[in-house]
């Protein structure tokens, strides 16, 4: 049993540190859950390289100037210590009795973790057992957890899983139509990702419609550099576009999304590529970047405005896939109350929203051009009054959701 097992936050403590550890990066945010405000945020990039960089931004009282540190940060331990020093310089040190818990984003929780979970030795072992199904993500998350445990062994550490929200998917949506024994032996099934975002955004959409989450059916389109769609019926996820890994589904910044799986055998047999090379091709060199050389939607739109045909085709392929998912999820849900756009592209790209909804009037969907053109950080409707189904933009906030779920578990 670790010192954190069953641990509760010290009475009255209301701050939560949220950590999102990647293979060579560490993102952090410190939030105060009394008033759900952000106190500071930061990012450490290129951990382990000579050119590591830490950018720290105080956020309290409307935010302050970012501070930067450059130069080698050898590992996650050093990265978290550097972040802790920056927080301490703002009077927000991690030794503060105000700190209630540390919440970790963990990408893969398999079938076991359906809820946020206080991290014990046994929980950590189970997250390690899931490494074969999340080889790119879970090892970094585990490093982040161990590092934070070393720094504050007395504090509750909570894992919030990207897959958890999708564990309500019915078996017929989660299972691939492949041999059952083979699938089960290797835990091959559709897990889905971005769950914290889909949970947060679908709930905020219900609020925007002034309804209880149980009373609304929502299609959430999380369009960031990674992208996924989900169908949420009465607050429960019933279908999502990512699968065993985040590669399935929509066209993304650098991932192909759906392809015929035979493309992979073809690449091996005909092009002589190894499994690792195909993995890199489909995850890092495909999607928008593979189609036109750019994965930033702003740049793609700029090129389209200049008459660039490759950029235009990439945009059309991206939007076509989105439309197919909107149609499919309308059928899955039967009745749709809202289609909601979120994340970097979804929140900011009016042309993507307009093109994805264009021609879907038969599904009750339409976008009002003026409302769609409004730039705002607030949840908002962009459909005309007459539309049967609401179309909305709801900014996601995965850190706030992780902090909220973490705090709910440890607050006493």
Active site residues: 162
Q: Which of 344, 364, 395, 404 binds ligand AMP (CB under 6 A)?
A: 344
Instruction: Please report, as residue ranges, which positions from 244 to 263 form the binding site for ligand AMP (by CB under 6 A).
Output: 253
Q: Which of 319, 343, 393, 402 binds ligand AMP (CB under 6 A)?
A: 343
Q: Is 372 in the site for ligand AMP (CB under 6 A)?
A: no
Q: Which of 72, 186, 284, 298 binds ligand AMP (CB under 6 A)?
A: 298
Residue with Cβ nearer ligand AMP (46 or 112): 46
Helix pair 121-129, 138-151: axis angle to 10 deg: 160
Q: Is 364 in the site for ligand AMP (CB under 6 A)?
A: no
Q: Is 196 in the site for ligand AMP (CB under 6 A)?
A: no
Question: What is the spatial distance between Cα 53 and Cα 120, in angstroms, rounded to a whole number?
Answer: 31
Q: Which of 148, 220, 250, 345 binds ligand AMP (CB under 6 A)?
A: 345
Q: Is 224 in the site for ligand AMP (CB under 6 A)?
A: yes
Q: Is 287 in the site for ligand AMP (CB under 6 A)?
A: no
Residue with Cβ nearer ligand AMP (4 or 295): 295
Question: What is the spatial distance between Cα 243 and Cα 240, in angstroms, rounded to a whole number?
Answer: 8
Question: What is the spatial distance between Cα 175 and Cα 146, in angstroms, rounded to a whole number?
Answer: 33
Residue with Cβ nearer ligand AMP (174 or 223): 223
Residues 6+ apart with CB under 8 A from 320: none
CA-to-CA separations, 200 to 75, 208, 222, 229, 282, in angstroms, rounded: 32, 12, 11, 14, 29
Question: What is the spatial distance between Cα 296 and Cα 288, in angstroms, rounded to a whole number?
Answer: 8
Residue 76's DSSP bridge partners are: none
Instruction: Please report, as residue ranges, which positions from 148 to 167 form the binding site for ligand AMP (by CB under 6 A).
Output: none
Residue 29's nearest CA partner among 400, 378, 394 is: 400
Q: How many residues does the chain have?
A: 412
Question: What is the spatial distance between Cα 320 and Cα 390, in angstroms, rounded to a whole number?
Answer: 20
Q: Is 349 in the site for ligand AMP (CB under 6 A)?
A: yes
Q: What is the binding site for ligand AMP (CB under 6 A)?
A: 224-225, 253, 295-298, 343-345, 348-349
């Amino acid at each position: 049993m670790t010192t954190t097992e069953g641990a509760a936050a010290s009475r009255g403590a209301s701050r939560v540190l949220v950590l999102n550890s990647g293979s060579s990066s560490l993102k952090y945010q410190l939030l105060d859950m009394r008033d759900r405000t952000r106190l500071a945020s930061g990012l450490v990039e290129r951990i382990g390289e000579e050119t590591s960089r830490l950018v720290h931004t105080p956020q309290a009282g409307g935010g302050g100037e970012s501070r930067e540190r450059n130069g080698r940060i050898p590992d996650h331990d050093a990265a978290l210590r550097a972040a802790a020093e920056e927080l301490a310089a703002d009077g927000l040190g991690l030794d503060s009795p105000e700190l209630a818990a540390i919440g970790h984003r963990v990408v893969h929780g398999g079938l076991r973790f359906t809820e946020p979970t206080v991290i014990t030795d046994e929980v950590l072992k189970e997250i390690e057992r899931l490494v074969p199904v999340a080889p790119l993500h879970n090892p970094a998350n585990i490093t982040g957890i161990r590092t934070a445990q070393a720094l504050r062994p007395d504090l509750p550490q909570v894992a919030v899983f990207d897959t958890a929200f999708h564990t309500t998917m019915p078996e017929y949506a989660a299972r691939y139509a492949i041999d059952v024994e083979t699938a089960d032996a290797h835990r091959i099934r559709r897990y889905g990702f971005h769950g914290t975002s889909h949970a947060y955004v679908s709930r905020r959409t219900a609020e925007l419609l002034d309804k209880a989450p149980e009373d609304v059916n929502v299609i959430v389109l999380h369009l960031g550099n990674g992208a996924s769609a989900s169908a949420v019926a009465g607050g429960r996820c019933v279908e999502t576009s990512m699968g065993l890994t985040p590669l399935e589904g929509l066209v993304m910044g650098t991932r192909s999304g759906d392809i015929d799986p035979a493309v992979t055998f073809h690449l091996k047999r005909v092009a002589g590529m190894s499994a690792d090379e195909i993995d890199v091709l489909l995850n890092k060199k495909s999607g928008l970047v593979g189609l036109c050389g750019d994965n930033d939607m702003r740049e793609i739109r700029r090129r389209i405005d200049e008459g660039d045909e490759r950029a235009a085709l990439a945009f059309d392929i991206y939007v076509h896939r989105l439309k197919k998912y909107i149609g499919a999820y309308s059928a899955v849900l039967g009745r749709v109350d809202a289609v909601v756009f979120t994340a970097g592209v979804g929140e900011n790209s009016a042309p993507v929203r307009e093109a994805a909804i264009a021609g879907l009037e038969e599904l009750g969907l339409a976008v009002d051009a003026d409302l769609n053109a409004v730039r705002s950080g607030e949840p908002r409707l962009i459909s005309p009054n007459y539309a049967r189904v609401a179309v909305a933009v709801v900014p996601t906030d995965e850190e706030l959701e992780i902090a909220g779920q973490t705090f709910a578990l440890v607050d006493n």
